[in-house]
């Protein structure tokens, strides 16, 4: 994702949330190394779907929390994480709304364009999914001038800004749209998202989860790309893909870092719409007691490093949700 600098007004308000010593072990896996311990945990054990925004010498971490989309930040390149205003609980940047179309919020992406923070998120009304297999996730937008507190744009108050195609049961995003990843470049917004079709209990002709795409000139009105960006059949080491993020490097590569059934993979292309070359093995696998499953990555490319954050969860309880970290030298050793 293209990350743009912001100046934090709350740097004097520090609360240690989770720390990573420079001496913490890193485990090598594929072309990435990952920390053996989580790098961030929330007060109640629910920190998922990280979105990372580079901010001068600081990092902002937006994540799925119990009451909405929460925020933490780091002043030391991700070694230690704090919450604004000395919050002892999750600092909520965007609150969920009872009785609204988005009374549950998840899978967030925050970028900054022309001094305005834009938060793309998925929301749904809990318990009202069209099928038992998926909630009706769709994509909303909220904005902020300071990156701390967000308000929904007018177009996102009563309805999502990007909606599922419910014209028939076989559309690629018929049942859910999750995990938006957004890059802004030269007047155009580029988005990927996970499109879900679960028709006939996952047996319909287009059933499955695919990485889909859309573009916009204003960040609000979007035109979907008809063909999938990445389909599950292209990932040879896993039968499933889902949450993903979009990144653009200074040397011109488009990267998609994506979840599989239990692991995290990566793909690249010299154009947004593809085709994408998929690295032939996972770059992050579950290795430790706290992360039986790893998913929902986001990242930045800076100072010769490709850095990704993701959430891990322990089975069989599926609790707690914790944030992990992995990195690789950049350019990547793709061969």
CA-based torsion, 66, 71, 73, 78: positive or negative = positive
Instruction: Give the strands of the sheet with 176-185, arranged side by side.
Output: 176-185, 188-197, 208-216, 223-224
What is 250-293 written as a DSSP string?
TTS-EEEEEE-SSSEEEEEESSTT-PPEEPSS-SB---STT-SE
pLDDT top residue among 231 and 13:
231
Count of alpha carbons within 13 angstroms of residue 264, beta-carbon side:
35
pLDDT tens for 250-308 read 999 999 999 999 899 999 999 999 999 999 999 999 999 999 999 999 999 999 999 99
pLDDT tens for 173-182 read 999 999 999 9
The Cα–Cα gap between 290 and 233 comes to 29
Question: Do the Cβ atoms of 197 and 207 come closer than 8 Å?
Answer: yes
The Cα–Cα gap between 275 and 228 comes to 10
Domain assignment present for 334 = no
Confidence of residue 233 (pLDDT cuts 50, 70, 90): very high
Domain assignment present for 2 = no
Run of H or E including 202: helix 199-202
Confidence of residue 309 (pLDDT cuts 50, 70, 90): very high
pLDDT at 97: 96
pLDDT at 335: 77
53-57: which pairs have CB atoms within 8 A and are 24 or more residues apart?
A: 53/3, 53/4, 53/6, 53/110, 53/111, 53/112, 53/147, 54/3, 54/4, 54/5, 54/300, 54/302, 55/3, 55/5, 55/6, 55/7, 55/8, 55/147, 56/5, 56/6, 56/7, 56/8
Q: What is the CATH classification number for the domain harbouring 246?
A: 2.115.10.20
Question: Which of 97, 221, 89, 248 is closest to 161 using CA atoms?
Answer: 221
The Cα–Cα gap between 251 and 26 comes to 27
Domain assignment present for 4 = no
Q: Which residue has the tokens 């902020």?
A: 144
Confidence of residue 206 (pLDDT cuts 50, 70, 90): very high
- Return the exposure string of 188-208: e unless at least 16 CB atoms fall within 10 Å of the residue's CB, then b: ebbbbbbbbbbbeeeeeeebb
pLDDT tens for 43-83 read 999 999 999 999 778 899 999 999 999 999 999 999 999 99
Count of alpha carbons within 13 angstroms of residue 93, beta-carbon side:
31
Q: How many domains in the chain?
A: 1
pLDDT tens for 98-112 read 999 999 999 999 999
| Domain that includes residue 81, residue range | 16-329
pLDDT at 277: 98
Domain assignment present for 223 = yes
- Region of 25 (left: φ > 0; alpha: ψ -120 to 50; beta: rest) is beta
Q: What is the mean pLDDT of the chain?
A: 92
Confidence of residue 24 (pLDDT cuts 50, 70, 90): low
pTM of the predicted protein model: 0.92
Confidence of residue 128 (pLDDT cuts 50, 70, 90): very high
306-309: which pairs have CB atoms within 8 A and are 24 or more residues apart?
A: 306/32, 306/255, 306/330, 306/332, 307/52, 307/78, 308/32, 308/257, 308/264, 308/284, 309/39, 309/50, 309/52, 309/61
pLDDT at 6: 33
What is the three-class DSSP state of 86?
A: helix
Domain assignment present for 237 = yes
Mean pLDDT value of segment 83-93: 92
């Amino acid at each position: 994702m293209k990350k743009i600098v912001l100046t934090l007004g709350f740097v004097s308000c520090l609360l240690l949330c989770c720390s990573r010593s420079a001496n913490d072990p890193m485990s090598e896996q594929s072309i990435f190394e990952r920390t053996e311990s989580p790098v961030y945990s929330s007060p109640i054990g629910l920190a998922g779907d990280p979105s990372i925004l580079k901010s001068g010498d600081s990092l902002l971490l937006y994540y799925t929390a119990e009451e909405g989309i929460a925020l933490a930040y780091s002043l030391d390149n991700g070694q230690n994480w704090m919450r604004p205003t000395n919050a002892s609980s999750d600092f909520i940047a965007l609150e969920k709304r009872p009785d609204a179309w988005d009374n549950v919020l998840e899978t967030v992406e925050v970028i900054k364009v022309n001094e305005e923070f834009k938060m793309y998120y998925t929301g749904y009304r809990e318990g009202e999914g069209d099928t038992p297999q998926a909630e009706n996730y769709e994509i909303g937008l909220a904005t902020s001038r300071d990156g701390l507190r967000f308000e929904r744009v007018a177009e996102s108050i009563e309805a999502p800004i990007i909606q599922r195609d419910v014209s028939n049961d076989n559309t690629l995003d018929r049942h859910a749209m999750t995990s938006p990843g957004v890059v802004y470049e030269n007047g155009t917004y580029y988005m990927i998202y996970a499109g879900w079709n679960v028709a006939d209990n996952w047996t319909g002709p287009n059933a499955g989860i695919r990485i889909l795409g859309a573009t916009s000139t204003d960040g609000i009105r979007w035109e979907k790309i008809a063909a999938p960006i990445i389909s599950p059949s292209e990932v040879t080491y896993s039968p499933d893909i889902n949450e993903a993020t979009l990144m653009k490097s200074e040397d011109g590569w488009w990267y998609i870092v994506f979840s599989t059934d239990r692991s995290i993979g990566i793909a690249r292309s010299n154009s947004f719409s593809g085709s994408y070359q998929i690295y032939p093995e996972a770059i992050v696998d579950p290795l430790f007691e706290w992360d039986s499953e790893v998913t929902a990555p986001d990242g930045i490319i800076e100072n010769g490093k490709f850095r990704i954050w993701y959430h891990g969860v322990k089975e069989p309880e599926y609790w707690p949700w914790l944030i992990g970290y992995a990195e690789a030298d950049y350019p990547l050793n793709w061969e």
